[in-house]
Structure 1
Amino acid sequence: MSAWRDRFSAIVPRVAVVSHDLFMVWLVWQGLHRLRFGILPNPPEMPLWSTEIMLVLVAQGLVFWQVGLYRGLWRFASVPDLWNIFKACALGLLAITLGLVIYNRIELVSRTVLVLYPLSLMALLGAPRLLYRAWKDSSSERTAAASVRILILGAGHAGEALVRDLRRLGTYQPVGFLDDAARMRGTKVQGVPVLGKVSDVAEIARETAAKLLVIAMPSADATALQRVVIACERTGLPFRMVPKLSDVLEGRSLPGELKEVAIEDLLGRKPVLPDWKAIRHWLGARSVLVTGAGGSIGSELCRQCARHGARRIALVEIDELALTTTEAALKRDFPDLEYISILGDCGDPAVIAHALRLSEPEAAFHAAAYKQVPLLETQLREAVRNNVLATTTVATACRDAGVGTFVLISTDKAVDPVNVLGATKRLAEMMCQTLALERNTRFVTVRFGNVLDSAGSVVPLFREQIRRGGPVTVTDPDVTRYFMTIPEACQLILQASAIGTHEAIYTLDMGEAVPIRLLAEQMIRLAGKQPGRDIAVVYTGLRPGEKLHETLFHADERYRPTAHPQILQAEPRRIVAKEISHAVAAMRDASQSYDVERLADLLREAVPDFVPEQTVVDPLVPSPTVVPFPARNARKI
């Protein structure tokens, strides 16, 4: 019964609209003819209903339906709807003329009526729609009288669209715009006045009694956005921003959603603009395997593959909760794909062989790794086992299974490595290089810097410290790092994979390095606090294995541009494949006996450019025990 009631309630308004439009067609046709022939001394008889009028209504009604006039709603009528009505009226005139020519050769039909018909009908169809929308908008404004008063920064297209959305909601009341363009001063956008410049936000917010600020500048660069954010912070009011179009298209924000200003919006780096056509051409209808699929990079990589054409995704993950969470999210967002979940350590040959048999992948992305720099300085055995030996196991299994492409996700710390993470990742790159010599599987290495908001990264740490009231701990006031977002990192991986070189190392031109001190201060301000006043910033000294500045490019790796302007390809350095294979085999033996000193020697020998950073530690601050790497020429005792 309720289903019939719902269907009836949905049909009735549509029938009313169709009836209204056909009545207007009858009214225009009758009215124009009576006006035209009414001036004659002996006007012809004009009945209210005839076969001619029936033909007019049928022809015009079919055109209305074909043009799609009844797919829209009067509540949201706009200029495009008026154009659609005019098109329907003009095409309707052609249909009516054709029908009447066939019926009676257009006898007793005035040519003046035919000329005036489409314009008159458009006026009578468009006016009620626009009046209805104006009435609904005014009703929303009356409802919004007691709602939240909003001051909008930016009077462009985004601001204009925001006002329309807010009025439909009815719970927010736009009280004014702020814009730095001189031509906008004193004008109105959607009836809302432009009250001044962005720098005047504190004074104007107080005068208008605004309760919320909204930044409607989705195309503003980081420098301009920083200036706007600082101005908003001075008011003490909460502020939000309209998301970028790319965030909406990629599913990171919902249309019409207001989001908090994120730290990545203020970093000063232009985002990567992928060549999605090339990525979809390479990825489309492929089966892919992702190790570490429950991690920050692995899970986003799975989403990107699902979004851009993969038909099957195999998820290999050792953490059961992460695997369950990632699989559930993928099935919710992309239900039509095939998913194969394998719980286990990808460094176990049986696990990876089982995963390859089930999924038969054409591409494998190796995202499983340990990456915490200070921790790995004290956990050499696990760093080698996971970052080197597991990589060797997965890469070898993919080669033996005939997987078309193997992608190693590496790090900028593998360039001139000074810590265990960098050295083990560099050795993993070298091992893949030895396997690539057989030219069965295409081996691709992708390096990038720090990933914002990834698990264990500095951004979640700072956010938690700020939540607790501080202090925010920064290692050194001069330390800098290269940053990118998680989606950017995964887009780089897919873009590099699609380029097509057999054996290559790709890295992103990441622009300028970001001072960690500046990152901490901006995060404090975004939380509505002032650094040094509300939240203290404490410098703790560099941790074991850390250096002040990271290096993106190695001096001996000749870099050349690729088809993508922000991706560079490095020329792999010359290696002795047999020596690398022997070193990895010896590491496997040393790992099984947990011989950390032997592993340290082997790592130093296998990666000649590995020079451990001599970290200066404050003697008053306790530091973890670090297994020292002996000097190259030191005599063992």
Structure 2
Amino acid sequence: MFNWQQKIFLIIIDLILIPSGILLAFIVRFFEEENGFFLMLKWMAGIELIKIIFLVLSCIIVFYIFGLYGKVWRYAGVAEVVLIFNAVTLCFIIFSIPVFISGGKFYPRSITIISWLFCLSLVGGIRMLLKWVSLRQKKSSNLSRNILVVGTGDEGEAYVRELLRQKDIQYWPVGFVDEDNRKKNVKIHGVPVLGVIDDIPQFVSKYNVKQVIIALPFISGQLINRILAIGKQIGVHISIIPSVSEILDGRVTLTQSREVRIEDLLGREPVKFDNPDIADFIKGERILVTGAGGSIGRELCRQILNFKPEFLALLGHGENSIHETWLELNRKSSGVEMTQIIADIQNRGKISRIFEKYKFTVVFHAAAHKHVPLMEANPDEAISNNILGTRNLIDAASKYKVKSFVMVSTDKAVIPTSIMGGTKKVAELIVRAYANDSKTKFIIVRFGNVLGSRGSVVQTFQHQIRLGGPVTVTHPDMTRYFMTAPEAVLLILQSASMGKGGEIFLLDMGRPLNILTLAKNLIELSGYEPDKDIPVVFSGLRPGEKLSERLYDDEEELIKTSNPKILLVKAKPVNREIIIKDIEYIEKLSNEMLYPDLLKKLKDIVPTLLQEYDK
């Protein structure tokens, strides 16, 4: 029904319903009295027709002012019910004032209250009937598929509400299931809570359910695995609603469910962050992101754009990854000026010229060589990029008076045994050394592995699964800390907004994940059974690898911050002069390609590196 047609229809209906409500009130009031019919006629005859017309027209005007004729009632919810209540109540308060003042001279005072109840029921009922008819039409559509929603909280309610608001509905929610059995038989937007999660097979069969949607804000990996096992057993598709970050970025809408992904199995509570603080830190700034083509760099750029910087520069060594990032972000830059910079951070002169040209005020340094075995085979490149490249950026930031410099570090820098971890440890020392004597606020943010990043263990496992196996795990007891790129970046931005200079912020990643369990979960998510369809084999530790990582060493102290997901690491002071001399010597050895001496110097700075580097 078109909007103007609906308005005329509802006005005509209200012109009928309001007098009908008053008539019903008289009938109820005098029904049981002796000669009640004649008494009713007597009282009604005493009311001038003009007063009834006045009441009806007054109600129409009040309803119009309250917007009761401008609503699309198939979307009605609690707010619209409250609106109807307020509008009808105001009408009868206005009309009843003379009656109560006169002591019931015009008609019995009880008539006003009974009329109000009937009119409220009739006016509200006709609108709820419109919603019901609309939903019945959708439900009867042959195009919709029956779905079952897991979760009766805010997320489940919002998902069903948005689903029912769609004009051409593709999915029909036949019911909810929840872990709390006490919610059984409750209705949410007319959709019943059928029972508990373990009853899913029963409801799938009974209601011909084609898909089960997980709509929970925080769900453990164990519970997701349980639901996936049920789905696999009965042959029904399991999906999950998008994350908050995906919705905020505009990549998806709430009703676009997706496949269950490996990051959903982390079972971590959603990251809470302080938007105003981050906005104050980013808005209007000229920002550089190094390593912008990588997983963390690209996600940093995505989220930085949400806070309206003046300028955003995407810097990286690989032209394809930088251009891909730029193409993605340019569509939603919303007036933010952006540029692509292809440069090697090892090129000190070029880095200095870039800083001079663009006058950055905030720098996020996410560029690094991060692959442990690969850097074991190419230690000189790891040292040049992770140590000297970081020094070049820090020098330029100090020289051109950048306000804040944030370096993304790793848990592999804690008691490092690998070249990659050792170089990141030295990079941390450089940042801390400069923080002691600079107007620039130098900040370090340390966290673990990023799920799904390029070259990560997840990508390796997925590639092996596509090839039919085997999936290779180095050791059955190996564990690692994991985060998704969106939650890592949210905490980087929050840490940056909190930093005063010289801090190491540590992101809380929950419990470490067993790599063997991760491999088996990925196999199951791909629709296979571990060790039956896809074999899992153990390859042994590779050079530089550890069974487990630590987030801080024995000489560091953890301090709580205002954000429970962010901890402050208190470390021993760094001697700036010694660090600068060490880096200058490393640069000399690197330029002269004296690699054995270079590795020896690195081990002098970081004694925990494996002994084989002495060779």
TM range (shorter): 0.7 to 0.9
Distance verdict in 2 for CA 1:208–1:69, change over 3 Å: closer
Is the 2:159–2:254 contact (alpha carbons within 8 Å) kept by the matching residues of 1? no
Mapped partners of 1:567, 1:33: distance in 2: 63
2:415 alignment partner in structure 1: 416
Mapped partners of 2:262, 2:299: distance in 1: 19
Is the 1:340–1:359 contact (alpha carbons within 8 Å) kept by the matching residues of 2? no
After the TM superposition, which residues 226-625 of structure 1 pair with which residues of structure 2 at under 5 Å, given as runs? 226-245=225-244, 248-249=247-248, 251=250, 253-605=252-604, 607-612=605-610
Mapped partners of 1:357, 1:54: distance in 2: 76
1:126 alignment partner in structure 2: 124
One-letter amino acid of the structure 2 residue matched with residue 512 of structure 1: R
The Cα offsets for residues 89-131 of structure 1, whole Å up to 9 and x where unpaired, read as 3345567899x99xxxxx9999777666655544443223221
Distance verdict in 2 for CA 1:603–1:68, change over 3 Å: farther
User: What SS class does the counterpart of residue 247 from structure 2 fall into?
Assistant: helix
The Cα offsets for residues 26-78 of structure 1, whole Å up to 9 and x where unpaired, read as 4456567889798238947966xx79958974x65664454343553122223
The Cα offsets for residues 467-518 of structure 1, whole Å up to 9 and x where unpaired, read as 2222211111111111111112112211221223321111123332111001
Is the 1:423–1:603 contact (alpha carbons within 8 Å) kept by the matching residues of 2? yes
**What are the ranges of 5 or more consecutive residues in structure 2 without an aligned counterpart?**
27-38, 100-104
One-letter amino acid of the structure 2 residue matched with residue 285 of structure 1: G
Mapped partners of 1:29, 1:205: distance in 2: 45
Distance verdict in 2 for CA 1:194–1:92, change over 3 Å: closer
Is the 1:289–1:361 contact (alpha carbons within 8 Å) kept by the matching residues of 2? yes
1:39 alignment partner in structure 2: 41
Mapped partners of 2:191, 2:4: distance in 1: 36
One-letter amino acid of the structure 1 residue matched with residue 124 of structure 2: G
Is the 1:151–1:176 contact (alpha carbons within 8 Å) kept by the matching residues of 2? yes
User: What SS class does the counterpart of residue 423 from structure 1 fall into?
Assistant: helix
**What are the ranges of 5 or more consecutive residues in structure 1 without an aligned counterpart?**
1-11, 102-106, 615-627, 632-637
Mapped partners of 1:563, 1:261: distance in 2: 32
User: What SS class does the counterpart of residue 569 from structure 1 fall into?
Assistant: strand
Q: What displacement does 1:252 show?
A: 5.9
- Over the matched positions of the two proteins, sequence identity in percent amounts to 35
Mapped partners of 2:437, 2:175: distance in 1: 67
One-letter amino acid of the structure 1 residue matched with residue 546 of structure 2: K
Mapped partners of 2:586, 2:599: distance in 1: 9
1:7 alignment partner in structure 2: none
One-letter amino acid of the structure 1 residue matched with residue 129 of structure 2: L
2:145 alignment partner in structure 1: 148
Is the 1:475–1:540 contact (alpha carbons within 8 Å) kept by the matching residues of 2? yes
Mapped partners of 1:42, 1:494: distance in 2: 71
One-letter amino acid of the structure 1 residue matched with residue 8 of structure 2: S
Q: Does 1:16 align with 2:34?
A: no
Mapped partners of 1:222, 1:296: distance in 2: 23
One-letter amino acid of the structure 2 residue matched with residue 17 of structure 1: Q
Aligned alpha-carbon RMSD (Å): 3.5
Is the 1:560–1:569 contact (alpha carbons within 8 Å) kept by the matching residues of 2? yes
User: What SS class does the counterpart of residue 551 from structure 1 fall into?
Assistant: coil
Is the 1:590–1:596 contact (alpha carbons within 8 Å) kept by the matching residues of 2? yes
Q: What displacement does 1:520 show?
A: 0.5
The Cα offsets for residues 358-397 of structure 1, whole Å up to 9 and x where unpaired, read as 5433221111111111111111222112111111111111
The Cα offsets for residues 312-344 of structure 1, whole Å up to 9 and x where unpaired, read as 322222222322222233232341323233232
One-letter amino acid of the structure 2 residue matched with residue 259 of structure 1: R
One-letter amino acid of the structure 2 residue matched with residue 433 of structure 1: R
Mapped partners of 1:430, 1:284: distance in 2: 30
The Cα offsets for residues 526-577 of structure 1, whole Å up to 9 and x where unpaired, read as 1221100111112111122111111211111222222222322222334332
Mapped partners of 1:53, 1:269: distance in 2: 62
Q: What displacement does 1:449 show?
A: 0.6
Mapped partners of 2:309, 2:198: distance in 1: 48
User: What SS class does the counterpart of residue 39 from structure 1 fall into?
Assistant: helix
2:34 alignment partner in structure 1: none
One-letter amino acid of the structure 2 residue matched with residue 488 of structure 1: E
Distance verdict in 2 for CA 1:441–1:192, change over 3 Å: closer
2:36 alignment partner in structure 1: none
Distance verdict in 2 for CA 1:175–1:269, change over 3 Å: closer
Is the 1:367–1:409 contact (alpha carbons within 8 Å) kept by the matching residues of 2? yes
One-letter amino acid of the structure 2 residue matched with residue 559 of structure 1: L
After the TM superposition, which residues 91-240 of structure 1 pair with which residues of structure 2 at under 5 Å, given as runs? 91-92=90-91, 119-144=117-142, 147-154=144-151, 158-159=155-156, 162=159, 169-175=168-174, 177-184=176-183, 197-202=196-201, 205-206=204-205, 209-240=208-239
One-letter amino acid of the structure 1 residue matched with residue 460 of structure 2: L
Q: What displacement does 1:416 show?
A: 1.0
The Cα offsets for residues 239-291 of structure 1, whole Å up to 9 and x where unpaired, read as 11234556534556421121221212212444432233332333333332211
Distance verdict in 2 for CA 1:271–1:165, change over 3 Å: closer
Q: What displacement does 1:81 show?
A: 1.3
Distance verdict in 2 for CA 1:351–1:254, change over 3 Å: farther
Distance verdict in 2 for CA 1:512–1:135, change over 3 Å: same
Distance verdict in 2 for CA 1:172–1:504, change over 3 Å: closer
Is the 1:86–1:119 contact (alpha carbons within 8 Å) kept by the matching residues of 2? no
Distance verdict in 2 for CA 1:186–1:457, change over 3 Å: same
Say how many residue pairs are matched: 596
Mapped partners of 1:307, 1:96: distance in 2: 52
Mapped partners of 1:376, 1:74: distance in 2: 63
User: What SS class does the counterpart of residue 40 from structure 1 fall into?
Assistant: helix
Mapped partners of 2:505, 2:179: distance in 1: 41
Mapped partners of 2:281, 2:95: distance in 1: 52
User: What SS class does the counterpart of residue 85 from structure 1 fall into?
Assistant: helix
Is the 2:22–2:118 contact (alpha carbons within 8 Å) kept by the matching residues of 1? no
Distance verdict in 2 for CA 1:386–1:14, change over 3 Å: same
Distance verdict in 2 for CA 1:593–1:133, change over 3 Å: same
Q: What displacement does 1:446 show?
A: 1.0
User: What SS class does the counterpart of residue 387 from structure 1 fall into?
Assistant: helix
Is the 1:198–1:231 contact (alpha carbons within 8 Å) kept by the matching residues of 2? no
TM-score (norm 1): 0.83
TM-score (norm 2): 0.86
Is the 1:150–1:211 contact (alpha carbons within 8 Å) kept by the matching residues of 2? yes
Distance verdict in 2 for CA 1:194–1:434, change over 3 Å: closer
One-letter amino acid of the structure 1 residue matched with residue 128 of structure 2: L
Mapped partners of 1:192, 1:502: distance in 2: 53
